[in-house]
Amino acid sequence: MAPSAQPLTTSVPDEKYANVKWEDLGFGFVRTDNMYVAKCKHGENFQEGSIVPFADFHISPCAAVLHYGQGLYEGLKAYRTEDGRIIIFRPDQNGLRLQAGADRLCMPYPSVDQFVSAIKQVVLANKKWIPPPGKGTLYIRPILFGSGPILGSFPVPEYTFLVFACPVGRYHKDNSGLNLKIEDKVRRAFPSGTGGVKSITNYCPVWKTLAEAKAQGFSDVLFLDAATGKNVEELFASNIFIVKGNVVSTPQISGTILPGVTRKSIIELTRDFGYKVEERVIPVEDLLDSEEVFCTGTAAIVTTIASVTFKDKKSSFKTGEKSLAAKLFATLTDIQMGRVEDTKGWTVEIDRSHQG
């Protein structure tokens, strides 16, 4: 077993659940008890950080993250199983993606083992905030950013790696499927840019587009490629898949699309089901001509897309319990929540010595 997959135990007895109405849990910020913080000077490596009480973070007004957007984040979840275990899903993949993003943004980064250890520590330090089985998950948000002061010069003198967590419910609560708008003017990412990493600069620039779409009654926005404006790329925070016959297609990773951990997992599960999976350029016409469409992500998991509107033309797709998306959702969440044996080695058990 790899070091990062070893259970992390604690001598602290399980606490009772936090005072939360789990049935009302949405996907938003909920203040929890503790967070992890590690700092690193320029030219040095990250050392082990520490768990500290969750609190507002003091930062220089001239910090690189504030002036130049030098920052990125990850997202993953912890699950409480029916038999009392606590597990996380493929954290090493998030650690590797954080490293790729840090390299792109000229930042040092923790090792994968350090990353996974920080995740485990945050989960255990906020154990009472993990929802009961079936009531939600503990969403974990690692952040890496330039915290040192800088003005018009490089390098940045200090970097911070921080991890916090909060309980969440479903990201998309409408089980009937999403209604997407294909955005034909605004682009999310550009060739040689940062669309392929979780840079903090990727999201705010398209908030206005997303807000306008939601005001029109749409669930989310599907963005097209910047080079041609003819090929689909991804949603605001999700990868997209289309199904036609026995072929499932998803846009290829080319530097403008985020290499999602859920995306990677779904590709493997889909092939296990006997489908042919293609990672390729997908023209809008191919999407509109498909039989089924769904999106994937840590927050979205696997979410059915009921319709897509492109230039005022609405196309509808297969939904319901017999859809491939429904089958993939059930299979993936069974693994994530420990309801079936994890034959793929994707889950990491955090605390095997305590039942809670």
Closest C-alpha among 262, 342, 318 to residue 295:
262
Confidence of residue 6 (pLDDT cuts 50, 70, 90): very low
Same domain, 107 and 192: no
Closest C-alpha among 318, 300, 298, 320 to residue 308:
318
Say what the pLDDT of residue 15 is.
Answer: 61
Rounded to two decimals, the pTM is: 0.92
What is the number of domains present in the chain?
2
| CATH for 66 | 3.30.470.10
Say what the pLDDT of residue 136 is.
Answer: 95
Same domain, 85 and 199: no
Note the pLDDT tens digit of each residue in 295-328. 999 999 999 999 999 998 999 999 999 999 999 9
In angstroms, rounded to a whole number, what is the distance separating the alpha carbons of residues 138 and 17? 12
Same domain, 18 and 157: yes
Note the pLDDT tens digit of each residue in 123-167. 999 999 999 999 999 999 999 999 999 998 789 999 999 999 999
Q: Which residue of the set 198, 230, 244, 264 is catalytic?
A: 198
Same domain, 148 and 190: no
351 part of a folded domain: no
| CATH for 311 | 3.20.10.10
311 part of a folded domain: yes
267 φψ region: left (φ > 0), alpha (ψ -120 to 50), beta (else): alpha
Same domain, 93 and 136: yes
**198 annotated active-site:** yes
Same domain, 19 and 145: yes
Range of the domain at 329: 178-336
Same domain, 304 and 331: yes
Note the pLDDT tens digit of each residue in 28-61. 999 999 999 999 999 999 999 999 999 999 999 9
Same domain, 64 and 122: yes
Looking at the DSSP bridge assignments, the partners of residue 41 are 158
Same domain, 53 and 187: no
Which residue has better confidence, 348 or 9?
348
- Choose the final residue of a domain: 169, 204, 236: 169
Q: Above pLDDT 70, what percent of the chain? A: 94
Q: Above pLDDT 90, what percent of the chain? A: 90
